[in-house]
Chain A
């Protein structure tokens, strides 16, 4: 220890001269530049999308159907489709994610191999490319579950064995699961140990303690997780490319076995496969603006709630 200290000491002292001052300034400047570059790019993107999209952006645009081969009109069905999808997705992912988080913070012991495996799986889920979820949705939900269900109960008539809003939502729920787990876990950890002990010392069982003390204290964490998951799910396209999204539908989805239109997918289709990309440009930008407003505002809300939780924990 002594030797390393002196080594460091001398090496630092030897570099302490004018050229090192300059070097320091350059390094700090470079790091500063990196920060400002990122922030500038972010605002440029935001600015351009707002600027290009403002013209078309209106209540009418949001509330009307596309017309004329999707070269005119609004994005109502895409918006509604996205809403339905994130709701079904949340219904599946939130309980699932919350319970997993409860397991990890309340039941898992530190040395448990099982808990380590669960943690690893959750982190893996968070880094699996979203397109893989799409493939899984196709291979598992549609080909395996859906088709299996049709064969068993529908006499082979094709109803669930094809892309629809249910399979897309469930696929998306797998993708957003880690988001919820991480948020809820963080919130559960902010519940002071003293409260848990108080409850247990009063003769409450573990589950009673969780139900009466831990969960009520983490409601805002669950909310944050849900909002972040919704924000994420609303913007993802790859998982639903072949599990339920449709180019164009004249009607809103009437049941879970219908396909649906989706904002992100709509942007993709309009931008790459529209019959007149030039003409529909304002529509595309306005759609992008709507999606961006949706995801960003949800994110801001989540960040605000989260920072409040953190402040309270201190």
Chain B
């Protein structure tokens, strides 16, 4: 592992008294796709949401340990959570476009950042939609409501919206779980292309998907990181029995 993007040291997360993540330590390489797998309730989504501090929104949550992104502990008192989220984008399980036009959806983040120049905004819209491989489908209906799009289109729009903010890391929380196979494969292709520029973490409970898109895979179980390594290795000869059981479908 050459470029470590995210270095996690003994990260634990509590919901009130309950310990939901137990001393997670891992290194996430830059410009690679890292898949987080595990049975539901194993803490993989919770972990993902730690990376852009989305769990801050839940009052009962407390976190110990370190989450270093390029060496900066994002849970440091002096770190600004809003700036963190500008650099670490997130795509959610359920596509969640704003009830606004397609155009407005894409430039939401730019407007927040105070960009008002129409030409600049137009450019952002085109680049982002192109990057998300949805420009051709949508270029003639940018003024339409985003809610009128199909589920797959909505999800890619949400990815475009995230790209428009120009993040460095993209977190994807089961982005294709609610989509049909064709939309799913489009999203997977997209993920593959995006890793050129971005570091991507993707949560999935679809093991074929993890095998197809990821370079590295981390297996979570009961709030613990059981094993992490190159995807090939994890899927062909896992070091731990639990991983093997899960991958071979004995539970989960």
Contacts and interface: CB of A to CB of B under 8 A. Distances in A.
Interface string A91-113: 00000000000000000011100
Nearest to A206: B82
A212 B112 CA distance: 9
Given A110-B59, A197-B54, A212-B112, A202 B165 contact: yes
A197 B96 contact: yes
Given A109-B59, A110-B59, A200 B85 contact: yes
Contact of B108 (A109, A111, A202): A202
A213 B98 contact: yes
Contacts of A212: 108, 111-112
B156 interface: no
Interface in A175-230: 192, 194-195, 197-205, 208, 212-213, 216-217
Chain B interface size, as a band, is 20 to 34
Contacts of A205: 82, 112
B113 interface: yes
B99 A202 contact: no
A201 B112 contact: no
Nearest to B110: A202
Interface in B162-199: 162, 165
B1 interface: no
Given A111-B59, A217-B99, A203 B82 contact: yes
B99 A197 contact: no
A200 B57 CA distance: 10
B83 interface: yes
Contacts of A199: 98, 108
B80 to A, nearest CB: 10
Interface stretch (B20-28, B86-94, B227-235): B86-94
A208 B112 CA distance: 7
Contact of A203 (B59, B97, B109): B109
Interface in A108-129: 109-111
B161 interface: yes
Contacts of B92: 194, 197-198, 201
A195 B146 CA distance: 13
Nearest to B97: A198
Contacts of B243: none
A203 B161 CA distance: 11
A200 B54 contact: yes
Contacts of A111: 59
B158 interface: yes
Contacts of B59: 109-111
A198 B54 contact: no
Interface in B128-162: 158, 161-162
A199 B99 CA distance: 12
B52 interface: yes
Interface in B96-126: 96-99, 108-109, 111-113
A203 B98 contact: no
Contacts of A201: 52, 54, 85, 89-90, 92, 162
Interface of B: 52, 54, 57, 59, 82-83, 85-86, 89-90, 92, 94, 96-99, 108-109, 111-113, 158, 161-162, 165
Interface of A: 109-111, 192, 194-195, 197-205, 208, 212-213, 216-217
Given A109-B59, A197-B96, A198-B161, 14 more contacts: A195-B99, A197-B90, A198-B92, A198-B158, A199-B108, A200-B54, A201-B90, A201-B162, A202-B85, A202-B161, A205-B112, A208-B112, A212-B108, A212-B112
22 contacts: A194-B92, A195-B98, A197-B92, A197-B96, A200-B57, A201-B89, A201-B90, A201-B92, A202-B85, A202-B86, A202-B89, A202-B108, A202-B162, A203-B82, A203-B83, A203-B86, A203-B109, A204-B112, A205-B82, A212-B108, A212-B111, A213-B98
Please give me the 5 A-B residue pairs with the lowest Cβ-Cβ distance, nearest first. A203-B86, A194-B96, A201-B90, A202-B109, A198-B96
